[in-house]
Amino acid sequence: MQTVRTLALALLLAVLPLVAAAEPPPEPDSDPYSREGWYVSIGAYYQKEYAQNTCEGGLTPELTCANGFQPDSAAGVASHGGYRFHRYAAAEVQFEWVKDALEDDFNEHAFVTTVNLKGYLPLRRLQPFALVGFGWMRAPVPLQMQRAVRVENGIAFRFGGGFELYATKHWALLGEVSWVQPLPINHLERVPYLSLGGGVQYRF
């Protein structure tokens, strides 16, 4: 009986290394560009104002051009900071700021800060995404029939999409197009705009 036990133990000790060797090693991260983690970006954007065609009966015909100025398209700076919590999704805060948001010499600036939810199509180095968000908007609104403006604050929604193109697992180029639509609060609905942006993103 003792001999049988000894043989069984010896056989077990001989088989265990074979079983361990037969187990596949843990797979390395096959797609480092879709990993979870924090990220930040900085870049520039072009704010294409769609209230500027009011003289010709555009989106907001109630604005008059008798005062000689109106909302103007302009370039500004943009930044993002967020966390990719899933291969297919991330949450972020986006900030856009532009100076000279009006024609003429008023030098009024505008900014929008939104909290976005992004959905990804992970294609390794190329990561297209769609986004939806909402947040706070501050912008100058021209007063009708007066050569004056009033700076207003309110809520705005953002809808859009873009891509991340990775050079390494940490650095990527960012491109984004989004529509910013203010709610009808304090007449901000008069100044929606299309945001065309790009920049550099760092993944931690």
User: What six digits make up the tokens of 99?
Assistant: 């100076």
In 3D space, the residue among 129, 138, 189 whose CA is nearest the CA of residue 159 turns out to be: 129
Ranges 5-14, 106-115, 149-158, 180-189: which has the least confidence: 5-14
In 3D space, the residue among 100, 125, 123 whose CA is nearest the CA of residue 110 turns out to be: 100
pLDDT at 106: 55
In 3D space, the residue among 197, 73, 192, 75 whose CA is nearest the CA of residue 131 turns out to be: 197
- DSSP for 40-76, please give it: EEEEEEEEEESSTTGGGT-S-TTS-STTS--B--EEE
- Tell me the pLDDT band of 144, cut-offs 50, 70 and 90: low
Model confidence at 118: pLDDT above 60: yes
Model confidence at 145: pLDDT above 60: no
Amino acid identity of 193?
A: Y
Q: Tell me the β-bridge partners of 202.
A: 40, 171
Residue range 17-34: mean pLDDT, rounded: 59
- Tell me the pLDDT band of 1, cut-offs 50, 70 and 90: low
Burial class (CB in 10 A: 0-12, 13-18, 19+), 98: buried
CATH code of 32-203, in short, is 2.40.160.20
**What is the chain's mean pLDDT, rounded?**
79
Q: What's this model's pTM, rounded to 2 decimal places?
A: 0.75
More confident residue, 36 or 66: 36
pLDDT at 20: 47
Separation of alpha carbons 116 and 54, rounded Å: 30
